[in-house]
Structure 1
């Protein structure tokens, strides 16, 4: 307890010494310095940087959204951008340069290599979370094994959610922040529109909600259709 208090006081002392407001600078120079601080912090971070973190390095009256807009405007034409992902901002290279990066460093730029089956299960969890393994098995018309779920958990794309109110109170599964980061999503609201998937004939919301999945969802999809769904999420 005493150690926690000392750390908190140390942090407060650092904040007191750090000049966030920059009142001694003229407005244009102040704004430029705030932009530089924000860009430097995001550039140095290995994970997306959230609004709360950025608020600690700029003035109280500063609009972080406007700062980000100005930084992105300056990056226009550059091979990278500031992207809103997983609840924060991160420097990401632009898609047209993916081939050049692969040619230079080799391999895939994605941290996780997923099979089409894993993408389909992950998509189902994303849209219908919290969801149990038994419910996933029902959707796909075949057993979704513990090992299969364990691989997605090991990749940190899903985690245990609240226990289901069904008999036996099994664990449910939900997607994680790493899932958002892997697929370049800011929030789950950025998932591909369900209606678009229905229009493409890949999913039927009514059948899913009713549990009416003739021959199983996976069995009803060919490899080409599964790849289309994967492309929607990648």
Structure 2
């Protein structure tokens, strides 16, 4: 395969820098007239070249599922997040436990989640995860009642800076939710006793306001000053 021409490389690099979201090869192809469009192989060659060129820079080209984006490296995230003008959202331990179960056991029903956690799952938690587009309904289980089956989304991969689900840390390496959260690049500031299942069992509906508490949002290291979703 011949080396991509400089102009094609410049066009793709510029598009990735200003897009504000990950771009697929199919999306990149829409920039070009049909009669002069590059091949998928040529675009992939450009992406590989850009990955190499940015390998030692503060900004890297990161693949997310079948998409690519430029982002700042993790080591600079603590400085970049200080540019955000709005105070990010804080998420409860109950919500993060629910998200972790979906990520590792998908597809799962709400009943599956409750069996694993040992407590009921607040409707507000499911609504919050669906609203953030971190999970989605992927089907129904063929049992009486036909409960919804949930799985993670590409937005989940984007937010937690994962190329694919295989980049999730192995379960054998995880001891508790705090470790999971650290592996997913989350910062937690949970109240004392929030992790008590006994306390949750006596106030199951209390999870509804936990999922909406104000707390630092998971860091997403990007080459922009605020998350664009």
- Under a length normalisation based on structure 2, what TM-score does the superposition of the two structures give? 0.69
- Note the C-alpha offset of 1:107: 6.2
Cα separation, 2, equivalents of 1:69 and 1:168: 48
**Hey, what does 1:98 align to over in structure 2?**
77
Q: Which residue does 2:64 correspond to in 1?
A: 85
- Equivalent in the alignment of 1:21: none
Residue 112 of structure 1 and its aligned partner are, at CA, apart by: 5.8
Match runs of 1:154-173 below 5 Å: 154-173=131-150
What's 1:207 paired with? none
| Counterpart contact for 2:136–2:150, Cα < 8 Å | yes
Q: In the aligned structure 2, how far is the partner of 1:38 from the partner of 1:72?
A: 12
The 2-side partners of 1:61 and 1:177 are apart by 21
The residue number in structure 1 matching 2:95 is: 118
* Structure 2 Cα separation of the partners of residues 105 and 150 of structure 1: 25
3-state DSSP class of the match of 2:39?
Answer: coil
The CA distance in 2 between the partners of 1:114 and 1:158, in whole Å, is 15
Is contact 1:85–1:184 with CA below 8 Å preserved after alignment? yes
Between the two proteins, the alignment pairs up a number of residues equal to: 179
Flag the structure with larger Rg: 1
Q: Partner of 1:41 in structure 2? A: 15
Asked if the contact 2:102/2:152 (under 8 Å) is kept, the reply is yes
Q: Is 2:179 the partner of 1:228? A: yes
Cα RMSD after superposing both structures: 2.4
Describe the shift of the 1:145–1:99 C-alpha distance in structure 2 as closer, same or farther (beyond 3 A): closer
Q: Return the TM-score normalized by structure 1.
A: 0.68
Q: Which residue of 2 aligns with 1:178?
A: 155
Q: Displacement, 1:115? A: 2.5
Question: Larger helix proportion, structure 1 or 2?
Answer: 1
Within a 5 Å distance, the mapping from 1:167-206 to structure 2 comes to: 167-197=144-174, 202=175
Contact 1:120 1:229 in 2 (8 A): no
* Residue 42 (structure 2) pairs with residue 63 (structure 1): yes
Preserved CA contact (<8 Å) 1:42 1:49: yes
CA distance in 1, matches of 2:84, 2:75: 16
Q: Distance in 2 between matches of 1:103 and 1:44?
A: 21
Unaligned runs of 5+ in 2: 186-229
Deviation at 1:62, TM superposition (A): 4.1
* CA distance in 2 between partners of 1:105 and 1:133 (Å): 34
